[in-house]
Structure 1
Amino acid sequence: MGNGRRWRRKRQDWLTRDLDNAEFTLRLTRWLAARWSRHEFDVGSVLLDYARRLTEAGRREEALSALDESIAIGNRHIQDKPLRYAPNMAAALLTRAHLLAELDRIDEALSSVTGAVDIFRTLTPTDPDRFEPVLFAALTSLGFWRHQRGDLDGALPAFRDAATLAEKLPRSRDGDRAMALHNYGAVLHKLGQSEEGLPFIEQAIAIRRRLVREDHDRYERDLVLSLRNFEQALSSVGRYVEAIEVVEELSAMNRSSSPAAESDPGSA
């Protein structure tokens, strides 16, 4: 217990110093912006970092205020200087969406992430290597929250586009690739398009089988989830022999598997 208290105290001290530094940087940048308008862009950037540090310190409402100010700066300039202001604005909208979701304000999170997706779509052709991974994350969150709200028709195109982008992710992000393929296939199945969804779930299973061999404890739950959806989709299209084989596989492994909600999509 003593070591735990000391670790928490040291971490709190670090967070306090880190936040103090961020506040000083923000004050300095505001001072510069008040004298030279070109520094307003820097204020927006610093506010993004400041919001992250406020969130780490547990001051989430203040973090939201900082993000709102950063977004407002972007709104003032994005029409005249889109390539300069759009990346910061999209990042602020996406960060705001995740923070709102943590506060269980899902409808507001959906509005914010939709704005982020729209901007990242326009930015991606200008620099795919930079923006495609972030667009993938935003689309996955958009699909997840729409699914959470029961809007499967709305979740489907977001998951479809995320699955398309997932093909370009590096090998180190195979877990995310499998998640995207699973999400798209599972929602197709739930919308009565099981035949179309099966190949995507099957691809997710192939990736997750390999990941389980590499890290059983981390990935077995994901594999179980995909296998359950696979069995349901196979049954719905009358492929009962294959469905039984999947059930037998699940029976052999489910005693050591973590519980997984059926048809539950992943999240970014």
Structure 2
Amino acid sequence: MGRGRRWRRKRQDWLTRDVDNAEFTLRLTRWLAARWSRHDFDVGSVLLDYARRLTEAGRREEALTALDESIQIGNKHIQDKPLRYAPNMAAALLTKAHLLAELNRVDEALSSVTGAVDIFRTLVPTDPERFEPVLFAALTSLGFWRHQRGDLDEALPAFRDAAALARKLPRDREGDQAMALHNYGAVLHKVGRSEEGVPFIEQAVEIRRELVKEDQSRYERDLVLSLRNLEQALSAVGRYVEAIEIVDELSARSSSESDQGPVA
């Protein structure tokens, strides 16, 4: 047996044991919840972890079933105890959305992520430091999937709100900040609002130029993407001299990337 095959077998064995352990924890927690209703919350939390482990093991449909049960538990209690149950429910909705998107069920993913965004918005005022980054992630996914479907006007508000939250991200997440600014500026340009979009794309370019200095192989492609969008937006508003300067910069960079839309 080759080394690669042995590694895959070893990893699969580990994933199977991981799922088995999660199933045992879930059975125990269900037993407790059947006797004391306060343990419903614990069942919802364990189901979230169980779904994650099932996903890692490639058992996505089972993971979706676990997430649906976690969401049902949240729905049952969220009116009476919103601060206790809302975070888990929103997390389950967001996780479910990403799983659905991986299965090319984008319409269902959009419905699920919209529910997550709505809940995270209500949670942000209670603990901004905890919930703003998660709302940022949910908004970015919502905008990306709407953009993927060609619904640019609907994608725009999600990208706008994500760009606003991006400014509050910690310094070590400059890459995410640049992504959000680029997404919003690029979609503004695509819907004919290039004048508004240019400053956001310029900010994304500025950040990505600095990131390229730190790690060219990781960030060069993103910078080229922003530069291309910036050149188009500048041309659209008649700033041709600046657009030519961007073309010159692009010609100095080697990249085969051809996608010119937002990246998420």
TM-score range, shorter chain: over 0.9
Whole-angstrom distance in 1 between the partners of 2:263 and 2:138: 13
Quote the offset at 1:10 in angstroms.
Answer: 1.4
Q: Give the structure 2 partner of residue 202 of structure 1.
A: 202
Q: Give the structure 2 partner of residue 240 of structure 1.
A: 240
Secondary structure of 1:208 counterpart: helix
How far does the alpha carbon of each residue in 1:4-23 deviate from its partner, in whole angstroms, 9 at most, with x for none?
A: 12211111111111111000
How do 1:178-257 and structure 2 match up within 5 A?
178-253=178-253, 256-257=254-255
Secondary structure of 2:252 counterpart: helix
Whole-angstrom distance in 2 between the partners of 1:11 and 1:236: 52
Whole-angstrom distance in 2 between the partners of 1:83 and 1:59: 31
Whole-angstrom distance in 2 between the partners of 1:5 and 1:59: 20
Secondary structure of 1:104 counterpart: coil
Whole-angstrom distance in 2 between the partners of 1:90 and 1:31: 25
Moved more, 206-215 or 2-11: 2-11
Whole-angstrom distance in 2 between the partners of 1:225 and 1:196: 18
Whole-angstrom distance in 2 between the partners of 1:159 and 1:109: 17
Report the residue type matching 1:245 in the other structure: E
Q: Give the structure 2 partner of residue 160 of structure 1.
A: 160
How many residue pairs get aligned? The number is 264
Q: Give the structure 2 partner of residue 138 of structure 1.
A: 138
Quote the offset at 1:258 in angstroms.
Answer: 3.8
1:265 aligns with 2:259: no
Q: 1:212, 1:219 within 8 Å by CA — same for their partners in 2?
A: yes
Whole-angstrom distance in 2 between the partners of 1:3 and 1:131: 43
Quote the offset at 1:163 in angstroms.
Answer: 0.4
Unmatched 5+ stretches in structure 1 = none
Report the residue type matching 1:148 in the other structure: Q
Whole-angstrom distance in 2 between the partners of 1:260 and 1:142: 23
Report the residue type matching 1:183 in the other structure: N
In structure 2, the CA distance between the partners of 1:249 and 1:233, relative to structure 1 (3 Å rule), is same
Unmatched 5+ stretches in structure 2 = none
Q: 1:221, 1:260 within 8 Å by CA — same for their partners in 2?
A: no
Quote the offset at 1:2 in angstroms.
Answer: 2.0
Whole-angstrom distance in 2 between the partners of 1:89 and 1:239: 48
Whole-angstrom distance in 2 between the partners of 1:34 and 1:231: 62
Secondary structure of 1:150 counterpart: coil
Report the residue type matching 1:30 in the other structure: R
Whole-angstrom distance in 1 between the partners of 2:59 and 2:262: 29
Q: 1:94, 1:113 within 8 Å by CA — same for their partners in 2?
A: yes
TM-score, normalized by length of structure 1? 0.97
Whole-angstrom distance in 1 between the partners of 2:130 and 2:2: 44
Whole-angstrom distance in 2 between the partners of 1:36 and 1:189: 56
How far does the alpha carbon of each residue in 1:183-238 deviate from its partner, in whole angstroms, 9 at most, with x for none?
A: 00000001111011000000000000011111111100000000000000000001
Quote the offset at 1:260 in angstroms.
Answer: 3.6
Q: Which runs of 4+ in 1 moved over 4 A?
A: none
Quote the offset at 1:120 in angstroms.
Answer: 0.1
Identical counterparts, % of pairs: 86
How far does the alpha carbon of each residue in 1:46-81 deviate from its partner, in whole angstroms, 9 at most, with x for none?
A: 000000000000000000000000000000110010
